[in-house]
Amino acid sequence: MGEQESTRTVFICETFWRLVSLVIIVAMVVVGSVYVHDCPIQYMIPVYLIVYGIFLLLPTFTARHKKAGEDPPDVLQSPGQCCFQGIVGCFLLVWFIGGTSWVYPAFPVVDLTNTTSPNYCQPVLYNFAFTITTATWVVTGLGLLASIFYLGFTLMRGDQNQYSDV
């Protein structure tokens, strides 16, 4: 496979995963909005999905994405954009932890069938919020694990990868 084919394949994969992510994020906002009043056990669950989805969209629309065949854009485009994305990232972290504290405690007692129960939550809403929250924790854990393995592998290799003045 040539370098140009490889670059094209990477571009297609990146585009595919961005589209999948966009669909999931838009679904968060839609599901939270449609069922905003249908979760008396924890009224913040639909709000969590709506706000989390909107704030996940902000970096998507403010970041500069490279085009096929273009060199990667500079990571630090402007101090203002970096500051904005840093603030949004910090907010998303705090909001995700809050969402976890709203979704998981309801799990043992949530009633997905009796709409008149004080423990009721619309099944699509609750199951979607639970799945998104769990998937985020799993991906975060796998990323952390991969980072630890990479760091360990790098430290074990020592100076083998250093450039020399030859």
Decide: 55 and 90 in contact? Cβ < 8 Å: no
Predicted confidence (pLDDT) per residue in 53-104, tens digit: 999 998 777 766 555 555 555 454 677 778 888 899 999 999 999 999 999 9
Phi-psi region of 158 (alpha: psi -120 to 50; beta: other; left: phi over 0): left
pTM over 0.85: no
Q: Number of helices (H) and strands (E) in the chain: give both, helices first.
A: 4, 0
CA dist list (Å): 29 to 35, 77, 132, 146 = 10, 29, 12, 30
pLDDT tens across 11-65, in order? 888 889 889 999 999 999 999 999 999 999 999 999 999 999 999 998 777 766 5
CA 51 to chain centre: 13
DSSP state of 66: P
